[in-house]
Structure 1
Amino acid sequence: MDHCECFPGFGPPDDSLLQWQYVSDAFIALAYFSIPLELVYFVKKATFFPYRWVLVQFGAFIILCGLTHMINLWTFGVHSRSIAVIMTIAKGLTAIVSCATAVMLVHIIPDLLSVKVREMFLRNKAGELDRELGMMKTAQETGRHVRMLTHEIRSSLDRHTILRTTIGELARTLQLEECMLWMPQRSGADLQLTHQLHPPSSLVPITLAMNDPTVQDVMQSPGAIEISPTSTLSLAATANVYPVQWDGSSHSQNGFTKGPLTLTAQPQFGDAVAIRVPLLHMASFNDGEEGENQLFAIMVLMLPGNSARRWHQHELEIVEVVADQVAVALSHAAILEESLRACDQLQEQNASLDGARREAEKAIQAKNDFLAVMNHEMRTPMHAIIALSSLLQESELTPEQRSWTGTVLKSANLLATLINDVLDLSRLEDGSLELEAKDFNLHTVFKEVTNLVKPIASVKKLVVTNQIAADVPELVTGDDKRLMQTALNVVGNAVKFTKEGSISMTVCLERPELERDPNTPDFQPVNTTEYIYIRVQVKDTGRGVDPSTIPKLFNKFAQPDGTGGRSGGGTGLGLAICKRFVSLMDGHIWLESEGIGRGSVVTFVVKLGLPIAQVEAAATSAPPSLRNRTDFAGVRVLVTDDNSVNRMVTRGLLIRLGCDVTVVGSGRECLAAIAKPDQKYQVLLLDVLMPDMDGYEVATRIQERLSKNERPLMVALTANTDKRTREKCLKLGMDGVLLKPISLEKMRRCLNEILTTGSLSENKQ
């Protein structure tokens, strides 16, 4: 047998070992050739791999290794020199590639290690992201619970409902064993257990002193803090779970100031937290002082004792958020409760005020009814006195009798003025008096005032002058009757309190340069194209006024003594009524005097409108011969009055004026007299207040039976001075209203106007 020249000296090989090596080399070669194929497939399929060339080196290394093992398959037997050369070349290439791969791995391993570090970093980041995601989920869950709790808590504005809902929802959400609320008492020195998850079976109140250490710790902490389950705040809950013993005495036990209890078993609750809940101070609604101590309630929450649960941060956050929401809800509930309480108080006050208003209205109505009755009853005899006195003055009398008659007439007129003043003041005070607005001749008003006081002034030998500025318009709009009454009161006072000398009345337009009352600097009237301010100034040389008494003179019933210089009788109502009238006319009145014996000056300024069209009085259109008629011979007048004295007096006035007079005592007699075809009356004087059938019904029936041209001119006789009576009469178709008492001159003017114009102007009331 030939031996290989390459390996001389080797013994013959073992056949079994050669077979196993042969098989092993075959499988090794197969594996070495299949692994590069797999690496090539991986490199081809991988979209991103930074070490492709390294895999190529590993592939070449493995192929060469496989090639050497494959060549070994031919070396187990006798082989030639060529096979040995091939084997040597293959092993040399394998050695070169193996060394190159080893060298490359020295440079690659640090990069691979850095990749590992980055991988670990990425894993850590992924873990942190997972934790953050968990925290976000926890926060989201917390927010969901808080929203649910907030919705439940704020769904009611009842304080007890809010607290019961809070305790129940917190216990359900956080799976609590106990939840309770301590509320401050009114004194602020104690806390009382008011709400619990498990209400107590006993009605004995449990309170805790505010100076308790645990309470102080909770009060000083803005957030939720953990407290011991055996603290005084927590022990109160054990009375509902564990047996207690009541000894009936009052003492301090574990910090409790009331509700003496002794625990017969130890509590087994878990961890507990407490948080203060700010409350709205009720002093805010009761004008409380700023800086009062803020009130807080305390909420205590306890976990079950049979578990290993601990309080987590997100649970504490839930408790703090819920406590804030409870504080807001309780504040709203307190506001609502206080609002409802204030509303109830207002309703009670309104009911009381409404009752007082009704009583006042009844009193005012009773007063007005009394004044109306007294007015009517007093004016009825006054009508007889003034009418008969005026008739007596027209007859032949001795000088002494004429003086007596004049005194009676003057006293009667003074009494009538007093009656008017009392009624005007009453209507001014209750607000029922309203000014009239109509066009009138302003110059005529002041001339009539002068004419009315001149007879009295002539008796005292006083000189009365009236000066009206040229720029004062004649025709203005306003209440001429109230203006005349004001001017007449002022001038009448001047005449009354002046023994000798003169009284002058000056009327002019109000101008900025004129002097005004220094006590009222805010009164600055300005004339416009629509209205003007009239200044009326009355000077007298009378007794004068003590300056210290001037403010009192415009009060009602003011009667200064003689040292003030204005003691001269009177009711003390004149200037008070003047002040009210002037105020209604948007004006001002004041009095000036340098002292006793130096006279006085009364000035008043009133606002009057300017008429749009200059309307002439209806009387001026009548023929001059009819304007000042004094003889009414042939004028047929029917007088209807149920009072026999009034019938006699009115008949005497009309006969004295020359009228043909018929008198009847009832409304039915009046209708019967008018229905007679042979009796044609020109004027009907009709009393409005009569029994059986009053003047209103008589006027209505006359209107129904006769046309305006067929019926007589109807003039209502009344003692009622209110505006409603006049309006009712005119509404029923009457031609005028004549107010009692009636003097001879007043009856003459009435007949003159009614026969001339067909109606009476308003100032004939």
Structure 2
Amino acid sequence: MDSCFCVNTQWPAEEQLLNFQYIADLFIAVAYFSIPLELIYFVHKSAFFPYRWVLIQFGAFIVLCGATHFISLWTFSMHSKTILMVLAIAKMSTAAVSCVTALMFVHIIPDLLSVRTQESFLRSRVDELDREMGIIIKQEETGRHVRMLTHEIRNTLDRQTILRTTLVELGRILDLEECTLWMPSRRGLHLQVSHTLSNLMPVGSTVPSGLPILNEVFSSSKAIRIPPTCPLAGIKRPAAKFAPQEVVAVRVPLLNITNFQINHWPELSAKGFAVMVLFLPANGMRKWRDHELELVEVVTDQVAVALSHAAILEESMRARDQLMTQNIALDLARQEAEVAVHARKDFLAVMNHEMRTPMHAVIALCSLLLETELTPEQRLMMETILKSSNLLATFINDVLNLSRLEDGSLELDIRRFNLPGLFKEVVALVKPIAAVKRLPVNLTLALDLPVHAIGDERRLMQIMLNVVGNAIKFTKEGSITIEVSAMKQEYIKDWDLPQLYPAVSNGQFHLQVQVKDTGCGVAAKEIPLLFTKFAKPCGASSHQNVGTYLGLAICKRFVDLMGGSFWIESEGLGKGTTVTFSVRLESYENPSNEVTELAAQNAEVLQYRQFGRETDGIYLSVKRHQKYY
């Protein structure tokens, strides 16, 4: 390799100076080579750095600068031309990279200058976050106090305890000098102090409810700062103390307090809103802060809800007490009713045995005496005795039947009987009574009426005698018409009258009986009274006042028991009456021959005669001996 001194020095080389340059270039090269390594480490560790390419270019520039200094170490002694070429290339590369890096810095410097602005923005953002964090901490503290106070309030449902606990806890949490609660009067004309924290405001103090400051408090759900000279803030304090600097008032909604009493004064009650007034200490060192006002507002809402719950509980307890009182009264009434029922049953049993038996004996003896030869005076007396006895016997029978119907002990006597024969027997029994008033009784039996039926023959005859007897009793002139027909199920379906003729099973039919008279008639509004026990229609005259007015009521219940319907129709007073009823019976097909049938009918006629004498003699005797008008 050729050695070369390309530049002729103008002074002789100093060995020591060359050594210093040699060492300096060495350290410069080392420093230039270490700086890119540090930059690479920084870029690698940083999560976000917007100028990575600039650092790469700057690192390349430093490396090339270090390379030129490092190559220059060989130029202090004899060196070849190759070293000069390498050094030239290194310097040219360094120049190129340095120019590019300088151009890049032209664009980066404005951004770097704006870092200060961004720093200011970040600082303001940090301050804002600190304030928000403080607000959150205050909110958490407020929430903790509210939860604690709410827990204390809801530990009881007594109104006085709720209000007292609220004042005590607010005074402890907010370090209040005084806290007062103003409740409205029953008429709402005044507000009166009901509770205080430190008794600086006398209990019972009043202010008019029309104060402007009260209107302002009532119209807002927020806590309102009020002047210390306001009547609501007129508390007593020693003369050495300053006047209170900060006083707030907040409304307390009274959601459901209907019978609220202040200190057990019955003339005072809650209506609309109450007012809570809170006083900070009078030293002037404290001011109301926003989170404290929010705490007060939240607590008042919780107090309103707690008072509402307490009122509802008290109302429910009062309702429960009233219900218990009513239950006790009902239980006593039930016991009395049971005693009355037992007494009635005992009375009916005694009346059935001890009164009917001698009454029947009196009636029988009077009937026998009337068949003997008596003087007119004696006959009149015996007829009077017989009439009175028959009336009393009829009353006893009606009461017994009604009692058995009401308690459900009456059962139907179901058996086979001759259906046409029953109605003929009824006509035979009532004709003598109708003949006294010269009233014809006409009986019409439908052609398809069954000869035999299965049902309660005695109750059916009792219904017929009562209905026909009433028709004769309330008819002065004209006639009585009885129409009897069998209503088949297919006819009922065609007429669409299920309410009057309920559905029947196979082998059953509805027997319809219609009794028409030309008597006094009934007003439409009085028809329901005919089925009421002991109720006399207004149209009944005083001459017709004989009887208990139980007949139709008993008949309707008999018809209901037999699965039928009972109704009365009349066009008005003086236009007659039509009584219609239907009962459910079972068909009976007699397989015997005609001779046997005739014999059975004759036997049944005799049986009806005997039945009429034994069971309905009382009824007929009454009708025969009544005076008709």
1:449 to 418, 421, 426: 426
- CA-to-aligned-CA distance 1:109-157 (integer Å, 9 cap, x gap): 2232245545554555455445444444444444444333333333432
The residue correspondences of 1:233-312 to structure 2 (distance < 5 A) are 233-236=232-235, 239=236, 242-243=237-238, 264=239, 266=241, 269=244, 271-282=246-257, 295-306=272-283, 308-312=285-289
Would you say the 8 A contact 2:439–2:479 is kept in 1? yes
**C-alpha distance 204-549 of structure 1, shift in aligned 2 (>3 A):** closer
Shift of 1:603: 0.8
Hey, what does 2:162 align to over in structure 1?
162
Shift of 1:188: 1.4
CA distance in 2, matches of 1:350, 1:119: 81
- CA-to-aligned-CA distance 1:510-556 (integer Å, 9 cap, x gap): 69999xxxxxxx99423312476543222235x53475896466663
CA distance in 2, matches of 1:625, 1:502: 29
Letter in 1 for 2:251: R
CA distance in 1, matches of 2:523, 2:120: 108
CA distance in 1, matches of 2:208, 2:601: 106
Would you say the 8 A contact 1:579–1:589 is kept in 2? no
The residue correspondences of 1:743-754 to structure 2 (distance < 5 A) are 746=614
Of 325-334 and 220-229, the range deviating more from structure 2: 220-229
More helix, by proportion:
2
Question: Is 1:573 paired with 2:549?
Answer: yes
Hey, what does 1:544 align to over in structure 2?
520
Hey, what does 1:45 align to over in structure 2?
41
Shift of 1:39: 0.8
Unaligned runs of 5+ in 2: 1-7, 47-51, 78-83, 261-269, 492-496, 618-629
**C-alpha distance 405-628 of structure 1, shift in aligned 2 (>3 A):** farther
**C-alpha distance 308-559 of structure 1, shift in aligned 2 (>3 A):** closer
CA distance in 1, matches of 2:173, 2:515: 91
The residue correspondences of 1:64-213 to structure 2 (distance < 5 A) are 100=99, 105-115=105-115, 117-118=117-118, 120-198=120-198, 200=199, 204-213=203-212
Would you say the 8 A contact 2:356–2:393 is kept in 1? yes
Would you say the 8 A contact 1:544–1:595 is kept in 2? yes
CA distance in 1, matches of 2:240, 2:212: 24
Letter in 1 for 2:305: V
Letter in 2 for 1:439: I
Hey, what does 2:224 align to over in structure 1?
225
Question: Is 1:605 paired with 2:581?
Answer: yes
**C-alpha distance 27-352 of structure 1, shift in aligned 2 (>3 A):** farther
TM-score by length of 1: 0.58
1:589 to 551, 567, 570: 567
**C-alpha distance 409-229 of structure 1, shift in aligned 2 (>3 A):** closer
Hey, what does 2:215 align to over in structure 1?
216
**C-alpha distance 606-294 of structure 1, shift in aligned 2 (>3 A):** farther
Hey, what does 1:36 align to over in structure 2?
32
**C-alpha distance 281-500 of structure 1, shift in aligned 2 (>3 A):** closer
Would you say the 8 A contact 2:246–2:279 is kept in 1? yes
CA distance in 2, matches of 1:342, 1:420: 47
Shift of 1:275: 1.8
1:342 to 307, 311, 319: 319
SS state at 1:570 partner: coil
- CA-to-aligned-CA distance 1:337-357 (integer Å, 9 cap, x gap): 122223323333444455556
Shift of 1:196: 3.3
Would you say the 8 A contact 2:57–2:97 is kept in 1? no
2:396 to 419, 437, 441: 419
**C-alpha distance 188-479 of structure 1, shift in aligned 2 (>3 A):** farther
Would you say the 8 A contact 2:60–2:97 is kept in 1? no
Would you say the 8 A contact 1:278–1:295 is kept in 2? yes
Shift of 1:330: 1.6
The residue correspondences of 1:429-468 to structure 2 (distance < 5 A) are 431-432=406-407, 435-440=410-415, 441=417, 443=419, 445-457=422-434, 462-468=439-445
SS state at 1:318 partner: helix
**C-alpha distance 505-272 of structure 1, shift in aligned 2 (>3 A):** same
RMSD (Å), alpha carbons: 5.4
Would you say the 8 A contact 1:477–1:609 is kept in 2? yes
**C-alpha distance 357-107 of structure 1, shift in aligned 2 (>3 A):** closer
Shift of 1:382: 1.4
CA distance in 2, matches of 1:201, 1:417: 86
* Count of residue pairs the alignment pairs up: 562
Would you say the 8 A contact 2:531–2:556 is kept in 1? no
**C-alpha distance 445-130 of structure 1, shift in aligned 2 (>3 A):** farther
Would you say the 8 A contact 2:185–2:271 is kept in 1? no
- CA-to-aligned-CA distance 1:649-672 (integer Å, 9 cap, x gap): xxxxxxxxxxxxxxxxxxxxxxxx
2:465 to 474, 477, 488: 488
SS state at 1:186 partner: coil
SS state at 2:308 partner: helix
Hey, what does 1:321 align to over in structure 2?
298
TM-score by length of 2: 0.69
- CA-to-aligned-CA distance 1:381-423 (integer Å, 9 cap, x gap): 3122223345557x87689899997886566434311332345
Would you say the 8 A contact 1:507–1:536 is kept in 2? yes
Shift of 1:296: 0.9
The residue correspondences of 1:497-576 to structure 2 (distance < 5 A) are 497-498=474-475, 502-509=479-486, 524-530=499-505, 534-541=511-518, 543-545=519-521, 547=523, 551=527, 556=534, 558=536, 567-568=543-544, 570-571=546-547, 573-576=549-552
CA distance in 2, matches of 1:196, 1:465: 95
1:54 to 58, 68, 76: 58
Would you say the 8 A contact 1:181–1:194 is kept in 2? yes
**C-alpha distance 508-308 of structure 1, shift in aligned 2 (>3 A):** farther
Letter in 2 for 1:42: E
**C-alpha distance 372-266 of structure 1, shift in aligned 2 (>3 A):** farther
Hey, what does 1:728 align to over in structure 2?
none
**C-alpha distance 372-506 of structure 1, shift in aligned 2 (>3 A):** same
Would you say the 8 A contact 1:271–1:311 is kept in 2? yes
Letter in 2 for 1:528: A
**C-alpha distance 141-471 of structure 1, shift in aligned 2 (>3 A):** farther
Instruction: Flag the structure with more relative contact order, 1 or 2, with Cα contacts below 8 A and sequence separation at least 6.
Output: 2
Unaligned runs of 5+ in 1: 14-18, 75-84, 244-263, 286-292, 515-521, 631-741, 750-765
Shift of 1:332: 1.6
1:330 to 307, 326, 331: 307
Would you say the 8 A contact 2:254–2:274 is kept in 1? yes
Amino-acid identity (%): 42
Would you say the 8 A contact 1:489–1:578 is kept in 2? no
Hey, what does 1:681 align to over in structure 2?
none
**C-alpha distance 221-398 of structure 1, shift in aligned 2 (>3 A):** closer
CA distance in 2, matches of 1:125, 1:442: 112
CA distance in 2, matches of 1:745, 1:488: 13
Shift of 1:56: 3.9
Letter in 1 for 2:247: A
SS state at 1:539 partner: strand
Would you say the 8 A contact 1:510–1:535 is kept in 2? yes
**C-alpha distance 195-550 of structure 1, shift in aligned 2 (>3 A):** closer
**C-alpha distance 315-476 of structure 1, shift in aligned 2 (>3 A):** farther
Would you say the 8 A contact 1:533–1:605 is kept in 2? no
Shift of 1:219: 1.0
Would you say the 8 A contact 2:29–2:70 is kept in 1? yes
